């Protein structure tokens, strides 16, 4: 988990997306429908950064070469859709003067606008995650020559900032939005300290 000054742009986010979506191709309209399989069990990621989120079993942790050191303490994939949570701990000496969520969002977006071709915001909404204020926005852009859809969510609590990033091919935008709405409903803050162990997660297949 990254421990960074509050005004540091998160360039690692762009690098992570560039690396991860290289093998993500849009669904072919000619592909035969897959036979539904038994749904894997849902599982909960309990973070040392003071939050937990419950995911359907179809969302699996990335392993091996797919796993990047990008500051994310949750990095999962469901078919061609990606989800990551990047927590940033605010140093004690600046915690009392921590800038607003709007500033946090603006700094993060500035990096994406520089690095993602045709990055364009589509919508923005103020929401709550487990009672804490949050900002969520959707955007389009092109990365690795793929038309891409992003949903970016920002929140903060108890000396931590959280950037939640969901990505899909542009053709799956509505599906991604529906999935993410369900995932964020399971988000909970906790008093978990850095000395406690994280919860059990499924192994990669």
pLDDT at position 20, please? Answer: 55
pLDDT at position 164, please? Answer: 96
Instruction: Encode the chain (205 residues) as per-residue pLDDT tens digits.
Output: 444 433 333 444 544 554 555 555 555 555 565 665 666 899 999 999 999 999 999 999 987 645 555 688 899 999 889 999 999 888 777 767 777 888 889 888 888 888 888 999 999 999 999 999 999 999 999 988 889 999 999 999 888 999 999 999 999 999 999 999 999 999 999 865 443 334 456 655 4
Tokens (6 digits) for 1: 């988990």
Q: Which residue has the tokens 């906790």?
A: 190
Helix (H, G, I), strand (E, B) or coil at 187: coil
Alpha helices by DSSP H, listed for the chain, are: 11-20, 92-95, 101-115, 173-184
pLDDT at position 108, please? Answer: 85
Q: Sheet holding 188-189: strands in order across?
A: 43-46, 51-55, 188-189
Which residues make beta-bridge pairs with 30?
Answer: none
pLDDT at position 8, please? Answer: 33
Tokens (6 digits) for 18: 């560039």
pLDDT at position 21, please? Answer: 54
CA distance 97 to 75: 30
Nearest CA to 117 out of 85, 150, 84 is that of 150
């Amino acid at each position: 988990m990254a421990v960074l000054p509050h005004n540091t742009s998160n360039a690692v986010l762009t690098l992570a997306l560039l690396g991860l979506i290289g093998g993500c191709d849009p669904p072919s309209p000619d592909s035969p429908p897959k036979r539904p399989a038994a749904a894997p069990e849902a599982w909960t990621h309990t973070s040392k950064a003071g939050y937990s989120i419950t995911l359907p079993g179809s969302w699996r942790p990335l392993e091996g070469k797919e796993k990047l050191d990008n500051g994310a303490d949750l990095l999962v994939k469901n078919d061609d859709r990606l989800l990551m949570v990047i927590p940033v701990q605010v140093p004690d000496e600046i915690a009392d003067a921590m800038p607003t969520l709007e500033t946090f969002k603006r700094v993060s977006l500035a990096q994406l606008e520089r690095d993602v071709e045709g990055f364009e915001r589509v919508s923005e909404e103020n929401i709550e995650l487990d009672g804490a204020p949050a900002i969520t926005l959707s955007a389009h852009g092109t990365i690795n020559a793929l038309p891409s859809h992003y949903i970016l969510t920002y929140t903060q609590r108890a000396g931590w900032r959280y950037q939640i990033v969901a990505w899909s091919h542009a053709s799956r935008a509505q599906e991604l939005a529906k999935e993410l709405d369900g995932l964020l409903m399971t988000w909970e803050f906790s008093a978990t300290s850095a000395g406690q162990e994280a919860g059990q997660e499924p192994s990669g297949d």
